[in-house]
Amino acid sequence: MIKVVKFGGSSLASAEQFRKVADIIKSDSDRRFVVPSAPGKRFSDDTKVTDMLYECYRAASKGQEYAHLMEAIRKRYNEIITELGLEVSLDKEFEIIEACFVGKAGRDYAASRGEYLNGILLANYLGYEFIDAAEVVFFDDKGVFDAEKTNKVMSERLSGLSNAVIPGFYGSMPNDTIKTFSRGGSDITGSIVARAIKADLYENWTDASGVLVADPRIVHNPEVIHTITYKELRELAYMGFAVFHEDAIFPVRKEGIPINIRNTNHPEDAGTMIVESTSKKADYTVTGIAGKKGFTAVTIEKDMMNSEVGFCRKVLEVFEKCKISIEHMPSGVDTMSVIVQQAEFEAKEQEVLAGIHRNVSPDAIEIESDIALLAIVGRGMKSNRGTAGRIFSALAHAHINVKMIDQGSSELNIIVGVSEADFEKAIKAIYDIFVTVRL
């Protein structure tokens, strides 16, 4: 087998964490290609190296005092070097970084140096070959990731290598400018490497023992999801699941490569397997529960709306012209609700209302803000009767009023709208009815 292993910032925050990572890698000879993040927080009040780099770059590029900021970053890496007894120096690298900061090389360049330097140290510690991601991960001149060029070049570069360390989070543009993915983008790099070498498994090591059924900040000690499909994870990630970067699914999905979310601090835990499809029965009817606050519902009422050809299109055209994305669109015979991000809508509220009046002459328009959306996701929902009934029963028992409901045609998810004030209570109620009752 060939495994690609990605380690998050908390997994590589200190020399002690480096040792744990090395033990994990060397305990399995199949773990041949490693993707590291920049050092994360060592303790709750600590600062991530990426944030330190952003602050240092801001000062240096504006001609302000930055020497103490650069020294703090240098100290973080030198502590790791000293404690691990590595015979490597980053002095020349820091000279280049400093010159590029003063020369205004860009925020993406600044942010990428955390992964770049950590990659050098980890490769040295493991005795693996170091490959700069800028040489194998490519974006086009508009900053859009070039998947096919990257896959071709990386496949050729890694073929024949027994082991390698490729830093996560960044690549390069045609003019050699450094370009980064969004925060958490090391997950994407790991997925890209896995696709390029046609890996059998992509292990993503973090500080959590897998994907949890619900947010642990809301539900005390929620259960771990043992197996979840790509589709289920996409639905949950859209609603705020943050264990794994949702864009990292696409490269491995093309090759049918499973992803295993593991805990660096508890390597004995099996974690969560993310797969394309599975015959395994889900532990619970519901795989996961997630949600977001900050939505507004715009409800348009008009008699005989259903007989008016093009009505929905004319309404949606107004939102499109105002450049407002639509999240959901539940409707009735004479009513149509459009759910949008509250922050986007508020700035163009009156423009939208005027546009709707011009386009469809509604009988009434009602606006309701401060709505939270909950996504109840599960492949087991299709084969279990009464799932929606159990959801509403749980919410009613908790004295929570349902503002809206929208079920996907795949029967994989049900979206429920509630007042923001009831958000946490609603998640707990749904978790209890589907999970706690089963335990």
Q: How far apart are CA 34 and CA 40, in angstroms?
A: 17
Compute the Cα dihedral for 389, 390, 396, 397 and give only its sign. Answer: positive
Which tens digit of pLDDT belongs to each residue from 252-268?
A: 988 999 999 999 999 99
pLDDT at 228: 93
Tokens of 267: 């390597």
For β-strands 3-7 and 164-165, DSSP reports them as: unpaired
DSSP string, 173-222: -TTS-EEE-STTTHHHHHHHHHHHTT-SEEEEEESSSS-BSS-TTTSSSP
* DSSP string for 30-51: TEEEEEE-----SSTT---HHH
The answer on pLDDT for 163 being more than 70 is yes
pLDDT at 25: 98
With cut-offs at 50, 70 and 90, classify the pLDDT of residue 121.
Answer: very high
- Predicted confidence at residue 246, as pLDDT, reads 72
- Give the mean pLDDT of the chain: 94
pLDDT for 198 equals 96
- 409 pLDDT band, cuts 50/70/90, is low
* pLDDT at position 380: 82
**pTM more than 0.85:** yes
pLDDT digits (tens, 9 = 90+) for 333-378: 899 999 999 999 999 999 999 999 999 999 999 999 999 999 999 9
Task: Lowest mean pLDDT of 409-413, 414-418, 419-423, name the range.
Answer: 409-413
More confident residue, 308 or 109: 109
**Is-contact 335 300, C-beta < 8 A?**
yes
Of 303-312, 365-374, 382-391, which one has max mean pLDDT? 365-374
Q: Is the pLDDT of residue 233 over 90?
A: no
pLDDT band at 437 (very low <50, low <70, confident <90, very high): confident
Has residue 310 got a pLDDT over 90? yes
Q: What is the pLDDT of residues 75-97, one digit of tens each?
A: 999 999 999 999 999 999 999 99
Q: Which domains does the chain have, with CATH numbers?
A: 3-207 (3.40.1160.10), 288-438 (3.30.2130.10)
Is the pLDDT at 284 greater than 80? The verdict is yes
376 beta partners: 289, 414
**At 439, is the pLDDT very low, low, confident or very high (cuts 50, 70, 90)?**
low
